[in-house]
Amino acid sequence: MAVLFDDYQKTKDNDAELKVVGEQKEAEREEKVKGIRALKDELVLLSDAAKEEKQEALDEKIRELQEFENSVKQDLGTRRNQLVREIFRDIDDVVQRYGERKGYDLIFHKRVLLYSTDKLDVTKEVLEELNKGYNK
């Protein structure tokens, strides 16, 4: 299963897409952090009366950053979980069709076996079929 999952082109495409989204969100986060740093630098230079107002703005920016980070983490995690479930469904469907077409009675996950010969391993054939059926 690990080979099928890791070498499935859909997994690779989804990982690349999530990486791009993650990098975009990281850039947004860095902009927010720069704004917070700028406010902290301004705060040092202000009089006591003006500091209170700036401190409130700073506290609000910090809350916004925390909410942003939590939201991004949750959104990316949810998206990744949905994609993983979809990929495992694809794998299950192809293994099912492959087994029926080839007339197999059983197809085992390698972790269940204590011993087998490589001649019984159909992973490469299933992977080829899986990638052949994948449309970007």
Per domain, the residue ranges of the chain are 2-132
Cβ-based neighbours of 61, under 8 Å, separated by 6 or more: 32, 35, 36, 39
* Ramachandran class of 121: left when φ > 0, alpha when ψ lies in -120 to 50, beta otherwise: beta
Distance CA 111, CA 132 (A): 26
Residues of the chain with pLDDT below 70 are 114
pLDDT of residue 75: 96
Quote the tokens at residue 40. 């902290």
CATH of domain 2-132: 3.30.910
Distance CA 102, CA 45 (A): 76
The single-letter code of the amino acid at 16 is: A
pLDDT of residue 114: 67
pLDDT of residue 74: 97
